[in-house]
Amino acid sequence: MILTAILAIILAAAIAPTLNRVLPALSHWFLALVPLSAALWFATQVPGVTAGTPVLETTSWAPSLGVALSFRLDGLSLLFALLICGIGAFIVIYSGGYLRGHPREGRFHLFILAFMAAMLGLVTADDLISLFVFWELTSITSFMLIGFNHEDARSRRSAIQALLVTGGGGMALLAGLVLMGSGSGEWTLSAIAASGADLRTHALYPAMLILLLLAAFTKSAQVPFHFWLPNAMDAPTPVSAYLHSATMVKAGVYLLARLNPTLGGTEAWFWALTIAGGVTALWGSAMALRSTDLKKILAYTTLMALGVLVLLIGIGSDGALKAFAGFLLAHSLYKGALFMGAGSVDHGSGTREVGELGGLWGKMPATGLFIAVAALSMAGLPPLLGFVAKELIYDDIFRNGHYLALAALLLANAAMVAAAATIFLKPFLGAPTKAAAHAHEGGAALLAGPGILASLSLLFGLWVGLPQGLLGAAADAVRGAPLGLELHLWHGFTPALGLSALTVALGLGIYTGQPAVKNALAKIQLATRIDHDRAWDCLLALLDRLARRVTGWLQDGMLHRYLAWIFTGILVLLGATLAVRGGLVWPGISLEIEDALGGSLALLILGGTVGAIRARSRMEAILSLAITGMSVALFFLLFGAPDVGITQLMVETLSAIILVLIMAKLPMLPPGSDRTRAAKLFHAILALGLGGVVSAIMLAVLDQPLALDLSHFFGDTSLLEAHGRNIVNVILVDFRGFDTLGEITVVASAGLGVFALLRARMGKRGRS
Amino acid sequence: MMDSLILRTGVRLLLPLMLLFSVFILWRGHNEPGGGFVGGLICAVGFALHALAFGVKAMRDMLKVDPRSILGTGLLVGILPGFLGAFSGEPYMTAQWLGALGTPVLFDIGVYLVVMGAILAMVQTLMAEGDD
């Protein structure tokens, strides 16, 4: 059923462009039904999963490789799946309204639904390899989505940056998962957890940890890999709302949470996660305070939230993991609503600059209300879910005495209060501005998403019993053991409540003293100036230069130098293998030539070769080589390999024809450009060496007793099972037909390649 | 294009023979020396000689179809019959036989077409470039 849900969403993606063409105004409502029904199905699984029985599904995929499509739905996966499908459905509706009349709306739905399917697969995959495949699919689909406005150079740059950073993390993920698999001997997450293999004491644990952390940190934009996320906000707003707040960037967090039971709990884990998470949270908060664009503010607060989530997993105490589950849900709900709301503001007024917005409350009351509710949740005020989550966080960190982390969280949360105030107060309640004069609501499609998500923030806050079971199951999954989560809106007068009050006071202080804070932050930033974007560009430019240098060195346009490189490579690899493996043997055969015909053919081959070497012109050389080739073909015919013989004959003829054709248009070499003496000597050594190595291999083969198993097998079965008497051909088209399919595909590409290359050359010549 | 009477006369006689022979080689390949690869080569050599003697345009006129279409068709003929086994639940490219006709024979025809198409595509482009 999980696979069915994924496939259904892929199917919806496939029909999206056509559906959009047929029903331009309604397609998004129909398309949203698919993720919505998936979400409903997942919701029906909540009671079972909460009771402690995960849903398991296995479909054989590539059995010969041991890769299965196995899915597992425990609390953590279910929470994510519900967020992905639930928020996804509203995003599809929202983007229908947001992109109304856009010529590529259908394509957008295709991308976003494809991404949704990949993401759903990622959070439910149990098999390590499928996990990796889905992970990469999310990177690729998000590349398409960030670069959706591909006419815009900035979008393209951001898309490539995101792809390279997360794609690099994907490589690390594959390596890390393979290490995990070979280290534990199991290839599914559940089996690794159940086997009790202690990977933490494994000799390769540090390597595993580094690789998997690299994957998670790049995907979830942790410092120092955070720079791609704010740039990714060049994507259309629905993408930012969905990928860069609710789902994709949480994939890294998901990975860490998923691995916590098997890899977590060590010193290295604790420090890596708490430091990266804490720094990311602080950095995100500071940048959020400095930004004036609604979307940028939200992007940086997302960084803060991701940092907090990573920090909580790093701390790893029972309370921290409970808080993790609570904050995960709270953040996805309010941030999705805020992003969509900000998009509606942009849509209605034409700007996202806080400075240009004001007095929207009268024009866009519904959007304003939803943004207000979501912003209150972000600020962590009662009675919203954000408050409940924040209390959980404070409670545990305070009780465990991680005071440094506590200070970081306090600052970050105060910044959230200020950011929440910035997003709502001035744009909606401030003095009306020019941009706000024509502002208007965007219709049902633009209101449904933020409305429902904001209402859920409120509902879950008031009625904490509703999400409690699922969040508890999610926390249990992260711990790998039952924790017993209990949520309360009102904890009584606890230290956490005091910290909350302090946070709000501090946040409001920051908001009112905004200019001073911004100045101070700017100074700090100047002092610690690291321009990640600039560094990134330098890195890419460096890579480019290196590639250019190496290419220019290996392929300088002189054909004989290309060949020299290739032949040297073959000579070194084959020769070294032969020497190391002791393949240099003299077989027990006599060298007497008894057959007069064979002897004269051998002489002809030698004659052709000498002629080619001594030839004064290219034509002469080709004709001499043709003598050699034809003699070899005759050799085959003479000694019982007619198939090979005929083929060789035809190939020789064709080579001669094609070479003559090429020859006619090769430029005459200018005088003096002949090879130097040293080059000639090198080529002679290379040619003799390569010929010698190949001969040595032939002799080594002759020395081996001929294994006749295969010959017998093909001889026995060729006629009976494959209805053919010509064994060579039966092998080609039947027994090993799949290989031949690969070969003819290569032949086809070669044919088209020659065509394309020559056409390109002609085009260039035509222009110049 | 080579303006040679001997080549032209020779090709005029040789081409039909070579085409017939290539099909013959293809057909008998299953039981005796031959097969799609060699057959395709022979056919391509025939047309290439014709192009040498009469020019590439004459060859194209006689061929009627673009060599690249032949190549694509060949690839399809090679790939598609492999799926027939799926109807009886067998893996891709499991041979299906109906008397003397079987999917391996179809596959061989695909090989023939691909080899011929690819080589003629090369010859055609190389010669066309020489013409201008």
B41-70 residues touching A, CB cutoff 8 A: 41-42, 44-45, 48-49, 52, 67-68
Taking the CA atoms of A145, A151, A152 and A157 in sequence, report the sign of the dihedral they define.
Answer: positive
For residue A131, the model assigns a pLDDT of 93
Share of chain A above pLDDT 70, in %: 96
Asked whether residue A113 carries a pLDDT value surpassing 70, the answer given is yes
Tell me which of B126 and A548 has the higher pLDDT.
Answer: A548
Q: Where are the alpha helices (DSSP H) in A528-676?
A: 532-554, 559-580, 596-614, 618-638, 642-665
Q: Does B83 touch chain A (CB under 8 A)?
A: no
Asked whether residue A526 carries a pLDDT value surpassing 70, the answer given is no
| ipTM for the complex shown | 0.91
- Residue A14 to residue A23: CA distance in whole angstroms: 15
Task: Of A77-86, A294-303, A436-445, B39-48, give the lowest mean pLDDT range.
Answer: A436-445
Q: Does B123 touch chain A (CB under 8 A)?
A: yes
Domain parsing of chain B, residue ranges: 5-131
For residue A36, the model assigns a pLDDT of 95
- Mean model confidence pLDDT for chain B: 86
Test A751 with B44 for CB contact under 8 angstroms.
no
How many other CB atoms sit within 10 Å of the CB of residue A55?
Answer: 17
Phi, psi values for residue A424, rounded to 5°: -95, -50
Test A729 with B34 for CB contact under 8 angstroms.
yes
- The string of pLDDT tens digits covering residues B65-100 is 999 999 999 999 998 888 888 787 777 878 888 776
- Residue A382 to residue A388: CA distance in whole angstroms: 8
Q: Which of A734, A741, A754 sits opposite B121 (nearest CB)?
A: A754
DSSP string, A732-745: IIIITHHHHHHHHH
Test B95 with A722 for CB contact under 8 angstroms.
yes
For residue A424, which amino acid is it? F
Residue of A nearest to B101 (CA): A723
Name the pLDDT band for A593 (thresholds 50, 70, 90): low
- The string of pLDDT tens digits covering residues A629-679 is 999 999 888 887 888 888 888 888 888 888 877 777 776 665 555 678 888
Report yes or no: A155 and A44 within 8 Å, Cβ to Cβ.
no
For residue A670, the model assigns a pLDDT of 58
For residue B132, the model assigns a pLDDT of 44
Test B25 with A646 for CB contact under 8 angstroms.
yes
- The string of pLDDT tens digits covering residues A712-765 is 888 888 777 777 778 878 888 888 888 899 999 999 999 999 888 888 776 665
State the average pLDDT over residues A393-422: 89
Test B32 with A726 for CB contact under 8 angstroms.
yes
For residue A596, the model assigns a pLDDT of 79
Name the pLDDT band for A620 (thresholds 50, 70, 90): confident
For residue A527, the model assigns a pLDDT of 62
Q: Which of A654, A734, A747 sits opposite B48 (nearest CB)?
A: A654
- The string of pLDDT tens digits covering residues A455-480 is 999 999 998 888 888 999 999 999 88
DSSP string, A20-85: HHH-TTTHHHHHHHHHHHHHHHHHHTHHHHHTT--EEEEEEEEGGGTEEEEEEE-HHHHHHHHHHH
Domain parsing of chain A, residue ranges: 265-512
For residue A669, the model assigns a pLDDT of 61
Print the SS3 string covering A697-730: HHHHHHHCCCCCHHHHHHHHHHHHHHCCCCHHHH
State the average pLDDT over residues A419-429: 90
Q: Which of A738, A744, A759 sits opposite B75 (nearest CB)?
A: A744
For residue A706, which amino acid is it? L
Residue B68 C-alpha, separation from nearest chain A C-alpha, in angstroms: 7
Q: Does B23 touch chain A (CB under 8 A)?
A: no
Q: Does A642 touch chain B (CB under 8 A)?
A: yes
Token readout for A699 is 């002799």
Integer angstrom CA distances of residue A438 from A101, A294, A360, A424? 20, 19, 10, 19
Test A748 with B48 for CB contact under 8 angstroms.
no
Test B95 with A755 for CB contact under 8 angstroms.
no
Asked whether residue B34 carries a pLDDT value surpassing 90, the answer given is no
Q: Count Cβ atoms within 10 A of the Cβ of residue A374 and give its class: 0-12 exposed, 13-18 middle, 19 or more buried.
A: buried
- The string of pLDDT tens digits covering residues A31-53 is 999 999 999 999 999 999 888 88
- Residue A133 to residue B37: CA distance in whole angstroms: 38
Name the pLDDT band for A358 (thresholds 50, 70, 90): confident
> Which residues of chain A does B44 touch, with a Cβ-Cβ cutoff of 8 Å?
654
> Which residues of chain B does A748 touch, with a Cβ-Cβ cutoff of 8 Å?
71-72, 74-75, 114, 117-118
Name the pLDDT band for A768 (thresholds 50, 70, 90): very low
